[in-house]
Structure 1
């Protein structure tokens, strides 16, 4: 179906607004947790599940998103996903009970797990290969800025209103976007009508869900915890069975043969390092600033915010550079900057100033801005248009699992080092050493990414027979 320029602008507006709303909800409750705990009379461990469950369900839905994108039209899937999101948001807004609120968050996450891959697939289908970098840069700007704005906006709102206002603010925006989409959204994807395989769906949900939970729990409960070990083993077995089944099915729900593309696989692995640097940094830096340097939650959020905004501004520029000059030098630049800034973060101590932390962390996020979305675009350009839904799902799944694994390792390092020095009552100095060690580990990952960057080939240098059809 031919899409006119005005129609394309309408579609881009719709998916950008939906992406902002959905991604904002991933972090919106982080600073509202204390208020929710007091209002619903629940413990911190329970309250954390409002965020953990969102993350897990979102991650579970991503691998099966390819099936839905291939099965249903763009318009129908988008409207259903937005309808699900609005339903979850309304339930959360009206809730006065913890389990009702948790149900609302889970329903929101089901939508998010479909919406994010769908948004990428729509953008990739709307633009020719030569302009995809700029389009994905626009998407990168959204996913870079929105998560950082969420905690600051959430903290501001709960200071003046009930926490339910967070959902009431989001709901009318989502509803307006839904109505607009109902009249202007067009079908831009091609339906292959894959056969539904219930066993594959169950294996995917349970397998990837167990792995994601195991990695996220390992950082706090420890790798030797029986439940963590059981979750990881159970998840690994089910994912192995899932992979084997997909390779043997005539119509798999996820085409794993996109991994035959060396360009796709290598760029997806490097992208894991950059995604990990965002997730781990956003988890570790607030702990470092609040628990060890006595900064307030607002101050730690403000330290992250400039880097997120600048990273978002750089992503469209990096996309333009990618379209003109290719992937290799952008990735080398990004990896090199990430390596240098990780080492600089490793030398922060209890006397480090707010501005020193903010500037170094901003430069760290700038490195991500240069490389992450170009790597994703490069990966999608290395496979045929028909396989883009599968490539998008697999690329996102690899990032989620990889970031969960490495973040868990870094949190483990952060807690084990002070415990080994001071025992059960670690000093501030030993806790800071633990944080320093985590950023050295991040620097090691950046070094690996830098080495791998030299093996990336520009798409014009890849033989046609190596493009997976």
Structure 2
């Protein structure tokens, strides 16, 4: 079968939006290494410094649900330029910030820019790439952003120890400029515009949902579950979600088209996508933590050990996408999920005694499976939708991804913290036990994903 060529400008548009998303993720993952330095410099606690990540995720989470309406109302190139400039402003503020308050302001502005740009790449792929190449390019898109979590800890460790934390932001400025120039040249408008109404109440309810959930889950390891800071915040978040669902039913054009969940297949795919992100973010916390606290290595060594797996996941994205284009979704998804379930089982069985070498190879197994699967699940979720529903479906998937960002790390860190609290110590043994309990939980999630995808992923029709 002859495959249509992808225009060079479409490649440029995908890479421009992908680079900006890459920069957003790499700041998030590399800044985690600098937390001890920031705590000393600004005289702040662990809970306060963690808002460097939480407030960034919060800004993205509130903006991403608006992406379908933004796409309908404004030209893609204009949205990209605004996102790029906002991100640059945020990076400059953070690079020069004399106080922690200004550092957080920069993170909010970066989050708004990332929240605008993140769905653009996948919208461009679904709208402008020939149908026979969509799977491959979705894999490439996930590869661009997927490299960042792998590179981030190593990049952060090297920069913080050799140049200082401000250089994490300064080094990215020329990369963001390249993204801006590529986008200005390559992004073209293919869809007609129509002014979509931005419902203020819906935006408020989205904000309440994410503020409650992110605040509640981030406090899981610091406060009792039955407390205002945890259960109270989560209940407030769930009330926000309930009000959003109620409000959406009364609108002709809601900011999130929740009626898509009437399809069992869409619901199963979205839930699976969400749970994969939870598992991946759980891994990203558990393994570096284990390497440092149990195996007694430095943060830089931990970053180097998990680095090959990140590259494996990134490389398998386009390969999985190409298989999807040739054979459909079912076979590559189930093969990838088999590797994921197997690796989670191995980690849950041996997590009391894991050497760095075992972690390296089993994590490669997981990330290879995840890289194969993730982009295909996204594509298989969006492919059946019509051209008006695709931006809405994309907004829902990206919103689920941000929510998983709040949940994945918080749940696994809380399980480890509970294990440490039960033994009244932060010893290597209590950390290893907490890691094992976390992996039992993540294994259950992986099995649920396999069952859902086995049931709801169809064979390719010839």
Question: 1:46/1:194 Cα in 2 relative to 1: closer, same or farther (>3 Å)?
Answer: same
Cα deviation, 1:315-342, whole Å, max 9, x if unaligned, reads 1000011111111222222222212111
Deviation at 1:87? 0.8
In 1: Cα distance, 2:101 partner to 2:347 partner: 40
- Give TM-score scaled by structure 1 length: 0.92
Question: 1:289/1:125 Cα in 2 relative to 1: closer, same or farther (>3 Å)?
Answer: same
Q: Does the 8 Å contact 2:351/2:435 carry over to 1?
A: no
Q: Does the 8 Å contact 1:215/1:408 carry over to 2?
A: yes
Q: What SS does the corresponding residue of 1:79 show, helix, strand or coil?
A: helix
In 2: Cα distance, 1:343 partner to 1:137 partner: 26
State the partner residue of 1:295: 297
In 2: Cα distance, 1:441 partner to 1:31 partner: 26
Q: What SS does the corresponding residue of 1:202 show, helix, strand or coil?
A: helix
Q: Does the 8 Å contact 2:27/2:168 carry over to 1?
A: no
Deviation at 1:456? 2.0
State the partner residue of 1:348: 350
Q: Choose which of 150, 160, 163 in structure 2 pairs with 1:161.
A: 163
Question: 1:220/1:308 Cα in 2 relative to 1: closer, same or farther (>3 Å)?
Answer: farther
State the partner residue of 2:72: 70
Q: Does the 8 Å contact 2:293/2:431 carry over to 1?
A: no
State the partner residue of 1:361: 363
Q: Choose which of 261, 264, 268 in structure 2 pairs with 1:262.
A: 264
Q: Which runs of 5+ in 1 are unaligned?
A: 463-469
Question: 1:219/1:63 Cα in 2 relative to 1: closer, same or farther (>3 Å)?
Answer: farther
State the partner residue of 2:232: 230
State the partner residue of 2:102: 100
Question: 1:227/1:318 Cα in 2 relative to 1: closer, same or farther (>3 Å)?
Answer: same
Deviation at 1:427? 4.5
Matched, 1:143 2:125: no
State the partner residue of 1:89: 91
Deviation at 1:402? 4.4
Q: Does the 8 Å contact 2:312/2:364 carry over to 1?
A: yes
Deviation at 1:274? 1.6
- Give TM-score scaled by structure 2 length: 0.93
Which shows bigger deviation, 346-355 or 110-119? 346-355
CA RMSD of superposed structures (Å): 2.2
Question: 1:27/1:143 Cα in 2 relative to 1: closer, same or farther (>3 Å)?
Answer: same
Question: 1:246/1:106 Cα in 2 relative to 1: closer, same or farther (>3 Å)?
Answer: same
Question: 1:159/1:178 Cα in 2 relative to 1: closer, same or farther (>3 Å)?
Answer: same
Question: 1:173/1:401 Cα in 2 relative to 1: closer, same or farther (>3 Å)?
Answer: closer
Q: Choose which of 377, 380, 383 in structure 1 pairs with 2:382.
A: 380
Q: How does 1:56-455 map to 2 (within 5 A)?
A: 56-349=58-351, 351-402=353-404, 404-405=406-407, 407-420=409-422, 422=423, 424-425=424-425, 427-455=427-455
In 2: Cα distance, 1:456 partner to 1:312 partner: 25
In 2: Cα distance, 1:453 partner to 1:312 partner: 22
In 1: Cα distance, 2:104 partner to 2:409 partner: 24
In 2: Cα distance, 1:281 partner to 1:100 partner: 31
Q: Does the 8 Å contact 2:90/2:106 carry over to 1?
A: yes
In 2: Cα distance, 1:460 partner to 1:248 partner: 37
Cα deviation, 1:93-136, whole Å, max 9, x if unaligned, reads 11111111110111101111121111111121111333211111
Question: 1:459/1:388 Cα in 2 relative to 1: closer, same or farther (>3 Å)?
Answer: farther
Q: Which runs of 5+ in 2 are unaligned?
A: none
In 1: Cα distance, 2:292 partner to 2:227 partner: 27
Which shows bigger deviation, 23-32 or 109-118? 23-32
In 1: Cα distance, 2:436 partner to 2:265 partner: 33
Question: 1:334/1:4 Cα in 2 relative to 1: closer, same or farther (>3 Å)?
Answer: closer
Q: Does the 8 Å contact 1:56/1:213 carry over to 2?
A: no
Q: Does the 8 Å contact 2:382/2:390 carry over to 1?
A: yes
Question: 1:460/1:309 Cα in 2 relative to 1: closer, same or farther (>3 Å)?
Answer: closer
Query: How many residues were matched structurally?
Result: 458
Q: What SS does the corresponding residue of 2:171 show, helix, strand or coil?
A: helix
Which shows bigger deviation, 37-46 or 78-87? 37-46
Deviation at 1:213? 2.4
Q: Does the 8 Å contact 1:261/1:383 carry over to 2?
A: no
In 2: Cα distance, 1:90 partner to 1:217 partner: 30
Q: Does the 8 Å contact 1:64/1:204 carry over to 2?
A: no
Deviation at 1:447? 1.1
Which shows bigger deviation, 178-187 or 438-447? 178-187
